[in-house]
Amino acid sequence: MVSSEGGSSNSGGGELMRRKVLGLGYWVQGFRCFPWLAVNFFLKDGLNVDPSTLQLLQNSANLPMVGKPLYGLVSDSVYISGQHRLPYIALGAFLQALSWLAIAISPSNISIFTISIYLLLSNLGASLAEVANDAIVAEMGKQPPSSTKHSQSSSSGNLQSFVWIASSVGGVLGNLLGGIFIGRFSPQSMFLFFGLLLALQFFITISVHENSLGLPVSPSVGMRKQLSALSHALRKPKIAYSISWFAASYAIIPALTGTMFFYQTQYLKIDSSVLGISKVFGQATMLLWGIVYNQYLKSVPPRKLISAIQATMAFFMISDFLFVRGFYRQMGVPDSLYVVIFSGFLEVLFFFKILPFSVLIAQLCPPGCEGSIMAFLMSAVALAFIVSGYLGVALASYIKVTGTDFSGLPLGLVIQATCTLLPIFWSSCIPEYVKPKAKRKD
């Protein structure tokens, strides 16, 4: 355990070590898009799965993400050799390395069941690491100020900005390299590279002791007490209604990601490097969104901003409808240009709501429950995305889309856009304003 002096006397060295550990952790977290791009092509070209099966596998592999609140409770309560953050980051890196290396050395005719198990194991490891990394950031944000409130706020904000940038840089680099590598190397080579990278993260993490991070001392609280606090917070109407609306606003949309991937690569013959650049463009707009929100949109009422993002999502889905019908092609816009800009932007637009909603939930949370509530929120969002994916599979089946027949896709996109607009009609579940009084009492 960290002594009470350790966090303060060693704050300079602790901050540097924290940034190294968190920088690596969040960078690897962002870089996970590198092997996942290869997974899509491996399933499509190597195992010859159809669009619905591809989407089913993509979404089912995210099931471990739903357990994040449980992982957070275990990390908070169960210490390993006097540490309760770094061991879980190391375990997460180990499980991911094990799964990706196993896929890399597996025969090319690996069964769909086997690769599904490996992908589930990978996402379990990623979830453990993400929860522990997020907990360190949350703990540092709750430290008592050493000098002034302003300096503490600035320090916490700097750490948040640092990990956001680290994750975004990993995402940009992962998508860029993924788009380049997929045309030059086999998917198994990409899995091997990422597995070795995770093995390196594992060895670096186990070589660091938690004492050197200068984390604040937090007495171990039993899981029962933490569950009770979480349950009490979730019974507050503003929190319960807000999270329910937010999760439903994703779950109600039938995702057609697998179908669009097949349409772009199989029907339009879009090159893999173009898809990589599209994802890089999306990651860049995510980074820009964070800057724009912090500079100009923080004062906008959350209900108004989140509803506007929801409506914008529907607008871009209608744009996809026009794209599939050949409208932009007739105007002289190349398919590859549309995929890079519009498809890349729509893919990340789904996540734009998370930033303002996270700020809102942080304001609504009772003191001491921020970490648990955020883990619960991310779990609810993960479950919503899974439901959205399954609905998308059902919709693709209903409109009779296959790997070679996309005639029903325009209808599917219209249905998708309509479903996206529906949550706006009950957006009153989200508070218009949040009084900052409660937060000051901490």
- State in Å, rounded, how far the first CA of the chain is from the last one: 25
Could you tell me which residue, 13 or 36, shows the higher pLDDT? 36
State the amino acid at position 389 in one-letter form. G
Q: 154 pLDDT band (50/70/90 cuts)?
A: very low
C-alpha closest to that of 44 among 207, 206, 151, 187: 187
Residue in the block written with tokens 């060895």: 203
Handedness of CA 179, 181, 186, 190 (dihedral sign): negative
How far CA 280 is from CA of 176, 180, 297, in Å, comes to: 6, 12, 24
Helix, strand, coil in percent for the chain, rounding step 5: 80, 0, 20
Handedness of CA 190, 196, 199, 204 (dihedral sign): negative
Minimum mean pLDDT range among 33-42, 137-146, 221-230 = 137-146
Burial of 437 (0-12, 13-18, 19+ CB in 10 A): exposed
8, pLDDT greater than 60: no
Quote the pLDDT of residue 2.
Answer: 37
13, pLDDT greater than 70: no
State the amino acid at position 359 in one-letter form. V
How far CA 202 is from CA of 28, 72, 119, 171, 199, in Å, comes to: 11, 20, 18, 20, 5
Copy the structure tokens of residue 233: 């917070």
218, pLDDT greater than 50: yes
Residue in the block written with tokens 């995510």: 286
220, pLDDT greater than 80: no
If you count DSSP H runs as helices and E runs as strands, how many of each does the chain have, helices first?
Answer: 21, 0
Mean pLDDT value of segment 319-324: 96
Q: Are 424 and 268 in contact (CB under 8 A)?
A: no
437, pLDDT greater than 60: no
Quote the pLDDT of residue 217.
Answer: 63
Could you tell me which residue, 152 or 190, shows the higher pLDDT? 190
Could you tell me which residue, 72 or 241, shows the higher pLDDT? 241
CA distance 118 to 61: 9
CA distance 145 to 163: 21
Mean pLDDT value of segment 326-354: 92
The CA radius of gyration of the chain, in Å to the nearest whole number, is: 22
Burial of 308 (0-12, 13-18, 19+ CB in 10 A): middle
Question: Which of 42-56, 87-101, 199-213, 229-243 tops mean pLDDT?
Answer: 87-101
The rounded mean pLDDT for the chain is 85
Q: How many CB atoms lie within 10 A of CB 270?
A: 20
- Rounded to the nearest angstrom, the gap between the alpha carbon of residue 153 and the centroid of all alpha carbons in its chain is 25
Minimum mean pLDDT range among 141-150, 213-222, 259-268, 417-426 = 141-150
343, pLDDT greater than 70: yes
pLDDT one-digit tens code per residue, 160-173: 778 878 888 898 89
Quote the pLDDT of residue 149.
Answer: 43
Quote the pLDDT of residue 414.
Answer: 97
Please enumerate in sequence order all residues whose Cβ is within 8 A of that of 18, keeping only pairs 6 or more positions apart, or say none.
136, 140, 159, 213, 214, 215
Q: 211 pLDDT band (50/70/90 cuts)?
A: confident
Residue in the block written with tokens 């198994």: 188
Burial readout 357-396 (b: 16 or more C-beta within 10 A, e: otherwise): beebbebbbbeebbbbbbbbbbbbbbbbbbbbbbbbbebb
pLDDT one-digit tens code per residue, 86-130: 999 999 999 999 999 999 999 988 999 999 999 999 999 999 998
Strand pairing partners for 80? 83
402, pLDDT greater than 60: yes
